[in-house]
């Protein structure tokens, strides 16, 4: 990660870097202090005063101080072994700089594509208490899409695919297309892929819903199963890891 010793020269997946690399890192801590310095184009991470770099060897520079502070805090909080899976802001930055900056149009298209089968448009018919939970969590999202985006979506019952109105999809494409900063687009991608909903991601980006509310809305079915059958420990740990990614992406896009 530093100019003298990049931590992973092979990790240069254009989009997967935001969520991948969940395996433990093997690099031992090689620095004492992590700090940030204002530079042309933003705020750079410094490790013992030396500029840090992404896996693609680009300077690790965030567009806002708040984002750089998140990254520096992750590095400062590492122990003897640097564990990249505990560093979602760093991974998102790597993805934004090495990947999304070169594939903005494609990444925005991938985010917008989720609206064609958006999580909040699919409802169960039974049991009735699950259907009620889904309506309570998802109806406000569709109402926001109508009011804020002018996008009217159709509801599907069960798991059968339903074709959404072209006009609604175009409104979502336009809304996503307004984001040009790679960090913002990378954040939208993380929020969308982890929730299954482009509409929830856009609500967070617009400040219309906070990360916890969106996370609960995205996990109504899972939470219903937990109420019925209890918590599986391995599933809980996986969910906590995903939540860390999700919450960090929400902080990054809020800073922008």
**254: exposed, middle or buried (Cβ count in 10 Å: 0-12, 13-18, 19+):** middle
Rounded Cα distance, 244 and 51, in Å: 26
Which residue from 87, 136, 100 is spatially nearest to 16, judged by alpha carbons? 100
Whether CATH 3.30.2180.10 fits 16-101: yes
Per-residue model confidence (pLDDT) at position 121: 97
The answer to whether residues 130 and 124 touch, using CB atoms and an 8 Å cutoff, is: yes
- H-type alpha helices, the chain: 65-76, 88-98, 104-113, 128-144, 166-177, 182-195, 198-205, 211-218, 220-229, 233-255
For 82-129, write each residue's pLDDT tens digit.
999 999 999 999 999 999 999 999 999 999 999 999 999 999 878 899
Per-residue model confidence (pLDDT) at position 59: 98
- For the chain, state the CA radius of gyration: 19
Per-residue model confidence (pLDDT) at position 60: 98
Per-residue model confidence (pLDDT) at position 149: 98
Q: Do 104-255 and 16-101 have the same topology in CATH?
A: no
Angle CA(35)–CA(191)–CA(152) in degrees, nearest 5?
A: 145
Please list the residues that pair with 38 across neighbouring strands: 43
- Non-local (6+) Cβ contacts of 154 within 8 A are 121, 162, 163, 164, 165
Following CA atoms 164, 169, 171, 174 in sequence, which dihedral angle do they give, to the nearest 10 degrees? 170
Per-residue model confidence (pLDDT) at position 16: 56
Per-residue model confidence (pLDDT) at position 15: 53
The list of the chain residues with pLDDT below 50 reads: 1-14, 17-25
| pTM (2 d.p.) | 0.89
Provide the residue ranges of all domains of the chain, joining segments of one domain with +.
16-101, 104-255
The answer to whether residues 152 and 119 touch, using CB atoms and an 8 Å cutoff, is: no
In the three-class reduction of DSSP (H, G, I as helix; E, B as strand; rest coil), residue 150 is classed as coil
In the three-class reduction of DSSP (H, G, I as helix; E, B as strand; rest coil), residue 108 is classed as helix
Q: How far is CA 231 from the centre of its chain?
A: 24
CATH of domain 104-255: 1.10.3580.10
- Non-local (6+) Cβ contacts of 138 within 8 A are 119, 120, 121, 123, 217, 220
Angle CA(242)–CA(31)–CA(79) in degrees, nearest 5?
A: 45
Q: How many residues does the chain have?
A: 256
């Amino acid at each position: 990660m530093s100019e003298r010793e990049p931590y992973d020269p092979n990790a240069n997946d254009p989009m997967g870097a935001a969520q991948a690399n969940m395996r433990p890192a093997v690099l031992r801590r090689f620095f004492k202090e992590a700090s940030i310095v204002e530079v042309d184009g933003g705020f750079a991470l410094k490790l013992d005063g030396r500029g840090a770099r992404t896996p693609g060897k680009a300077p690790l520079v965030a567009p806002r101080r708040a984002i750089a502070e998140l990254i520096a805090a992750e590095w400062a909080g590492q122990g003897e072994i640097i564990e990249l899976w505990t560093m979602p802001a760093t991974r998102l930055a790597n993805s934004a700089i090495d990947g999304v900056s070169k594939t903005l149009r494609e990444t925005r298209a991938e985010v917008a594509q989720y609206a064609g089968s958006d999580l909040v448009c699919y409802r169960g018919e039974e049991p009735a208490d699950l259907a009620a939970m889904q309506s309570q969590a998802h109806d406000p999202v569709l109402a926001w899409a109508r009011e804020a985006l002018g996008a009217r979506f159709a509801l599907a019952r069960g798991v059968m695919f339903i074709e959404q109105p072209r006009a609604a999809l175009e409104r979502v494409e336009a809304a996503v297309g307004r984001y040009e900063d790679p960090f913002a687009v990378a954040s939208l991608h993380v929020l969308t892929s982890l929730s299954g909903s482009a509409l929830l991601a856009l609500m967070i980006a617009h400040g219309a819903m906070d990360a916890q509310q969106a996370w609960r809305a995205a996990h109504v079915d899972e939470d219903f199963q937990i109420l019925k059958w209890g918590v599986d420990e391995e599933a809980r740990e996986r969910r906590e890891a995903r939540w860390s990614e999700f919450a960090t992406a929400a902080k990054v896009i809020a800073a922008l």
